[in-house]
Amino acid sequence: MRDFGGFYIVYPAKRYASAEWIQMQYEDAVANGQVDEAYLGATDHQTMANGLSDAGIITLGKLVDGEKAVKAAHRLTKGPASMLGMVKRVIITDGGDCINFEWKKGEGIVFPPRG
C-alpha cells in the first residue's frame, strides 16, 4: 500500500488528515452505504480519500499556483474522466477560501458568471 503520510482536506475543516483517519472514515462510510460502489474494496488511501470526496464527506485540497490550477480544471472538465462522467464538480479556491472558479457536470462553468 503506497502511503504519502497524509492528506490536505478543506472540508469539513481545513487541516491535514492522516492516512489512518482517512481509512477509518472510509470504513465508516462503506458500512453506512455512503460510498459509491466504484470505490468499494479500495486498498490504498488515495482511492479511499477519493471515494470519501465523491460522497461529499470530505473535500480534498491542494495548494498549487494559478497556472497549475487552470490546467487541472481544464483536464478535469475536458478530459477522459469528464467524458466518462466521473467528474461531477470542479472548484478552484484561493488561499482565503474564496471561490475563483466552479464547473458542474451538465451546467458547465457556473462561476464566475458569464456576462
Q: What is the pLDDT of residues 42-71, one digit of tens each?
A: 999 989 999 999 999 998 876 677 788 888
Q: pLDDT-based confidence at 109, cuts 50/70/90?
A: very high
Strand partners of residue 102: 91, 111
- Name which residue leads in pLDDT, 111 or 94: 111
Residue with cell string 477560501: 97
At 100, which helix (H) or strand (E)?
A: strand 99-104
Q: pLDDT-based confidence at 28, cuts 50/70/90?
A: very high
Taking alpha carbons only, the member of 102, 99, 101, 98 closest to residue 89 is 102
Cis amide prior to 113 (ω within 30 degrees): no
